[in-house]
Each structure stands twice: as C-alpha cells, then as structure tokens.
A and B are shown apart, each in its own frame.
Chain A
Amino acid sequence: MSTLGRGRAPRRSTALSSRTRTRLAAGTLLTPFFVLFTVAMIVPVGYALWLSLFTEKQSGLGFDGPRTVFDGLGNYATALGDQAFRDGFWVLLGYCALYLPLMIGGAIVLALLLDTALARARRFFQLALFLPHAIPGLIAALIWIYLYTPQLSPVVAAMEAGGIGFDFFSSEGTLPSIVNIALWQWLGYNVVIFYAALQAVDRSLLEAATVDGAGNWRIAFSVKLPLIRSSLVMVLLFTVIGSLQLFTEPLILSRGSGSAVTSTWTPNMYAYSAAFERNDYGLAAAASVLIALAAAALSFVVTRFTNRRKEARP
C-alpha cells in the first residue's frame, strides 16, 4: 500500500493486542444503540408479554378493590374469543383486498411509465407524486376527511352537481375512504422506490430485448419486472405490515357523528380501547402481542412465498 514506503513506525505499540482494541471499539460504538434498543423495544415487548398473563379480579366482597392475579393465556382467549377483535382482522382483510392491488399495481404502472423514453418532466412528476409523503398521517387524514365532508368539500359539491351522490362516511363508503387516504400518502413513495430500481436495470439487457423484437409491453412485463423483484417484495412487505397497523384514519372517522366505524374497528383500535376505555391492561397487552405475531407471520409468508434469496445484506 502507499503507506509502505513511509519511514514511520508501522503501528502504535500498546499493551493491548489489536484484536482487543477492535473489540473494545466495536463494543463502545454498539453499546448506545443496544442500550436504547433494549430499553425501548426489548423490555416493553417483554413487559407486555408478562402483563398479558395477568388479569384483575374483584376480591370476594369487593372491599379490597381488584387484585391482580395470574391468568395464564386467559387474556389471549378473551381477545380471540371476542367477536369485535376477530372482526377487526376481517376488516383488515377487506382493506388489504382493496388497498394492495391498487397500491402495488398503481405504483408499478406509474414507475414503468416514468421509466419509458416517452415520459416528460420526470423530476416534476417524481416530486409531485412523492410530496404527500411529507404530510403527517394525521394531517393527511384530516385534509381528506374535510374533502369528504359535504358542507366543506368542493369535491362532494362537484360530484353532486354531476349527479353522483356518494356518502364517504356510510358503511359502504368507509373502506374506500380509508383506502384512498393511505393510497394518497404512500403511492408516490413506492413509485420512487420502483423507479429507482428500474433505473438501475442494466440498459444493455433492454437493448438486447429490443433487438430480439420485444415490444414495450413485453419488455416492461417480461424483462423489467422480474429484475426489480427484490424491490417488489420489500414494498409488499412494508405495505402489508403498514396495513396491519391501521389506526389513525379510522380513529378520526369513528369520532365523527353517525359514523359507521366502531371504536374497535381494527385490531389496533381494539387494543387502544382495551387500554383506555376498559382500562384492561392485560387484555391490551395480549391484543398488542397478537398484532405483532400476526405481523411476524405475514412477513414470514410474504418472504417465503416470493422465494427470495437470503436476507438482504449490504
């Protein structure tokens, strides 16, 4: 190496061997993160697991107030036995059935269009599509809810003028209303991810396909899409995990007057209401654990089914 010729002592001589030194350095650099990781992730999860095993029982005559007693998997049985909690997962299933095809399909189509030689003003389109992601989820939900509200909204007024009556807050309207809010926030984000992956595709492959007589459609679906497979899997995974956490939008809708959304509409809302409306911490902890388990199971299924190579390594 270039330093070989220098007439300096090659290495500082210390009592510590270089192996010990690197171990010490690695330990020092890793410690802050892992301390925080333990405090803010591992301990809360462990504590929730522990708490989920206990329940409060009224003591015999009710003189001493409730006592906390060990209940095994009782809270899990309560949650899973509760129609409201199970219904939450059905709501999520319906949500995903509508949301995933629109999101993934829409983002892929827009990214492929941006990637064609025909698209103009690419920087503008990327920025315009990406901008909603800068809006906090709560504010995005508020903006859209105002755009759904008949007295406030120019959209509803225009639709009515055009003879289309649609109640965004009715029981049929709720799911599309919420899907639209999520779609608005995340569509551009995913377009940018797909577009970047498409840009990284080796151009000579595309030229070879063109020489072989493949048309634009053929190239898009048979050459480009398989090549951005790892991006597709990642986006799908994060979209599914995100869907499972559905909370803010339905919470705000549930607070509206005459809303079709109940306070336990999604699993997360169920856990929230168990903690803050029923003050049943054991049940809230059990519900949170079940949601995390569902997320883990889904991640597993998504990565398995798409048969990806080993976990991403930098």
Chain B
Amino acid sequence: MISGNRWLSKSAVNVVLLIAAVYTLFPLIWLVSAATKDAGNLLGGDVFSLQGFDLAHNLSELTAYQDGIYFRWYGNSLLYAGAGALGCSLVSVAAGYAFDKYRFRGKEKLFALVLLGVLLPSTALSLPLYLLAVETGTVNTYWAVLIPALVNPFGVYLSRIFSAGYIPDEVLEAARIDGAGELRTFWSVGLRMVMPGFVTVFLFQFTAIWNNFFLPLVMLSDKDLYPLSLGLYNWHSNANADPSFYPMVVTGSLLAVTPLIIAFVTLQRHWKAGLTAGSVK
C-alpha cells in the first residue's frame, strides 16, 4: 500500500514536470521543423510532416535577400552584444571589486545609487535615451545602441558579490606586501581570480543586448545598422502583405537563436551562478 502510494506520487511528480517541459520545448521544436519547410507547407500549418523539406532553399532565400542583409544584421548583433558585453563586464567587475575591497566615505550611499539603477525599468529609460540622442545628434548611429549597452548596474551588484566570494583579502594583502601597486594587483590578481564571475556578467549582458528590441527600435532607422531582432520584426511586418516573408522570418529566427541555445547548454554552470548569486544568501 505504501509503496503503491509512493509509486503514484512519483509518477504524478514526473508527469507534471514532463508536461511543463513539453510546454517549454514545443514552440522550439515547431521552430526547427518550420524552418525546414517550404512556404506551401508552412502556410498550410503542416510543419510536422516530412513533406516539403526545403531548408536549403530557405537558407538561400535568406542569403540572397537584399544582398544578404540578414548576415549584416547578424554581424551587427554580434558587434553590439560582443563589444557591449565585454566593455560592460570589465567596467562592472572593476567597480564591483572597488566596492568590495576598498573602504571610502559614502561607499554605501554610492552603492545604493547603483541598486536604484537596477530597479529603473530599461524600457522607461529607452525613450529618454532616444530624446537625448536626438539632442546630441547621435540618433541612428552605432553609438546610440552601443553606449547604453555598456552600463548594467546589476552587473556591478553581481560583481561585488563575486569579488567577495572569489578573492580572499589575504591574497591581495600578500600582493601588496610584495610591492605590487593597487591597480596592478587588481589587474593581475583580482581580475584573474574573479574570472568565473566575469564570464557570468559577460553572458548576462550578452543575452540582454542580443535580446534587446526596444532600444534599437527607437534609435535606428538605417537598415544597415539593424540588429537581428529589429530586422526580423521588419520582415514580420511585411509578411502580412506578402506571405513569402514567413519562411524567411522563421528560418532567420532559428539561425538567430542557435548560438544562444548552444551557449546556454554548454555554459550552464555560469548561468546558474549568476541567477543564484542574486537570490540565495
């Protein structure tokens, strides 16, 4: 009786989890199979059959459209997310290290300001950034998207936690006694020890920039500067009038999410470190 009960609850637990997993995976499976179908099967809603397999055609359409503008968008996304995340994590880790390892007047007040920045909704900030860019004439340039990407107060918050966790004060003291200057100690000892945290902040910011839609939407009007999200949105808007855009949106979406999914699967440890550092104490 007891073992029967246990078997029942064990099945119930795993069935519920399985249903949740089907819910989260189904749209992705749909995306993969839809991207391999020709327009006829896609528009017929018949994406799970083996008929009409035409990934090569979809890819060549994607490449050919407007001289491969899709790959230009891809490059732009890599530039915004890569350069933005690299700069952001350097700046954040330096600030987080300073907040953790040094004592100076007004430190906690300054840190409270950073925390206030965490709570400022990013979309509520995007329009003010746009209005400022109009005033300074930087609207519709790479800088308009790149400079805001360098700032993430949450990165500083995380870095302070990581600095406290990864860099023992004794090591820094030893470096000082050996005569290393403060900045040199940060660069060659601190930064190296906090590297796992650095990677976490980098990954977080990379995804945040890659996923950002509102800021490029308000800032950019030149199609050559678009990141992927904005380009795909543009194509989707055309698809209402011209359904031949649907296969391009779907195939383009699949290519756009592939590197992120690979990064998520291979770098799980870092994601979890970042997620949990903020919540578990």
- Judge whether A301 is part of the interface by a CB distance below 8 angstroms: no
| List of B residues within 8 angstroms of A30 by Cβ | 94-95, 98-99, 110
Q: A118 to B14, Cβ gap below 8 A?
A: yes
Q: A43 to B95, Cβ gap below 8 A?
A: no
Given contacts A47-B128, A48-B131, A296-B119, contact A33 B156 (CB under 8 A): yes
Q: A128 to B24, Cβ gap below 8 A?
A: yes
Within 8 A of B (CB), among A136-172: 136-140, 142-144, 146-147, 150-154, 156-157
A71 to chain B, nearest CB (A): 16
Partner among B43, B127, B128, B257 whose Cβ is within 8 Å of the Cβ of A151: B43
Q: Which residue of B lies closest to A245 (CB)?
A: B123
Residue tally, chain B, CB below 8 Å to A: 111
Q: B23 to A184, Cβ gap below 8 A?
A: yes
Residue tally, chain A, CB below 8 Å to B: 110
Q: Which residue of A lies closest to B176 (CB)?
A: A11
Q: Which residue of B lies closest to A33 (CB)?
A: B95
- Judge whether A130 is part of the interface by a CB distance below 8 angstroms: yes
Q: B120 to A41, Cβ gap below 8 A?
A: yes
A130 to B276, CA, bound (A): 14
Within 8 A of A (CB), among B3-39: 6, 9-10, 13-14, 16-17, 20-21, 23-25, 27-28, 30-31, 34
Given contacts A119-B14, A135-B257, contact A47 B135 (CB under 8 A): yes
Query: What does the 1/0 interface line of B242-268 toward A look like (CB < 8 Å)?
Result: 000010011001001100110111001
- Judge whether B2 is part of the interface by a CB distance below 8 angstroms: no
Given contacts A47-B131, A128-B21, A241-B119, contact A118 B27 (CB under 8 A): no
A2 to B171, CA, bound (A): 11
A299 to B135, CA, bound (A): 31
- Judge whether A26 is part of the interface by a CB distance below 8 angstroms: yes
A287 to B130, CA, bound (A): 14
- Judge whether A7 is part of the interface by a CB distance below 8 angstroms: no
- Judge whether A3 is part of the interface by a CB distance below 8 angstroms: yes
Q: A120 to B14, Cβ gap below 8 A?
A: yes
Within 8 A of A (CB), among B30-88: 30-31, 34, 42-48
| List of B residues within 8 angstroms of A285 by Cβ | 127-128, 131
| List of A residues within 8 angstroms of B30 by Cβ | 143, 147, 154
| List of B residues within 8 angstroms of A23 by Cβ | 102, 104
Query: What does the 1/0 interface line of A1-26 toward B look like (CB < 8 Å)?
Result: 11100001111100000000111111
| List of B residues within 8 angstroms of A118 by Cβ | 6, 9-10, 13-14
Q: B102 to A26, Cβ gap below 8 A?
A: yes
Within 8 A of B (CB), among A257-294: 257, 268, 271-272, 275-276, 281, 284-285, 287-288, 291-292
A298 to chain B, nearest CB (A): 9
A69 to B20, CA, bound (A): 56
| List of B residues within 8 angstroms of A80 by Cβ | none
Q: B264 to A197, Cβ gap below 8 A?
A: no
B32 to chain A, nearest CB (A): 11
- Judge whether B164 is part of the interface by a CB distance below 8 angstroms: yes
| List of B residues within 8 angstroms of A113 by Cβ | 13, 16-17
If over half of A's interface residues share one DSSP class (helix, strand or loop), that class is named, otherwise mixed; here it is helix
Given contacts A134-B207, A244-B121, A257-B240, contact A196 B135 (CB under 8 A): no
Q: A142 to B170, Cβ gap below 8 A?
A: no
- Judge whether A255 is part of the interface by a CB distance below 8 angstroms: yes
- Judge whether B189 is part of the interface by a CB distance below 8 angstroms: no
If over half of B's interface residues share one DSSP class (helix, strand or loop), that class is named, otherwise mixed; here it is helix
Instruction: Identify the stretch in A57-65, A89-97, A185-193, A206-214 within 8 Å (CB) of chain B at 4 or more residues.
Output: A185-193
Q: B183 to A25, Cβ gap below 8 A?
A: yes
Partner among B24, B45, B120, B281 whose Cβ is within 8 Å of the Cβ of A153: B45
Q: Which of B16, B23, B147, B229 is most buried by chain A, counting CB atoms within 10 A of its CB?
A: B23
Q: B131 to A284, Cβ gap below 8 A?
A: yes
Within 8 A of A (CB), among B106-148: 110, 112, 114-115, 117, 119-125, 127-132, 134-135, 147-148
A147 to B33, CA, bound (A): 13
Q: Which residue of A lies closest to B18 (CB)?
A: A125
Given contacts A36-B147, A252-B236, contact A44 B112 (CB under 8 A): no
B75 to chain A, nearest CB (A): 16
Query: What does the 1/0 interface line of A64-95 toward B look like (CB < 8 Å)?
Result: 00000000000000000000000000000000
A257 to chain B, nearest CB (A): 6
Q: B233 to A138, Cβ gap below 8 A?
A: yes
| List of B residues within 8 angstroms of A22 by Cβ | 102-104, 182
Q: A44 to B119, Cβ gap below 8 A?
A: no
28 sampled A-B residue pairs with Cβ under 8 A: A8-B177, A23-B102, A23-B104, A30-B99, A32-B90, A33-B95, A40-B147, A40-B148, A41-B125, A45-B128, A110-B16, A135-B260, A137-B211, A138-B211, A138-B229, A151-B45, A152-B42, A152-B246, A193-B279, A197-B276, A197-B280, A235-B279, A241-B121, A248-B214, A276-B218, A281-B134, A295-B120, A312-B281
Task: List chain B positions with a Cβ less than 8 A from chain A.
Answer: 6, 9-10, 13-14, 16-17, 20-21, 23-25, 27-28, 30-31, 34, 42-48, 90-92, 94-95, 97-100, 102-104, 110, 112, 114-115, 117, 119-125, 127-132, 134-135, 147-148, 150-151, 153, 156-157, 160-161, 164-165, 170, 173-174, 176-179, 181-183, 186, 207, 210-211, 213-214, 218, 228-229, 232-233, 236-237, 240, 246, 249-250, 253, 256-257, 260-261, 263-265, 268, 271-272, 275-276, 278-281
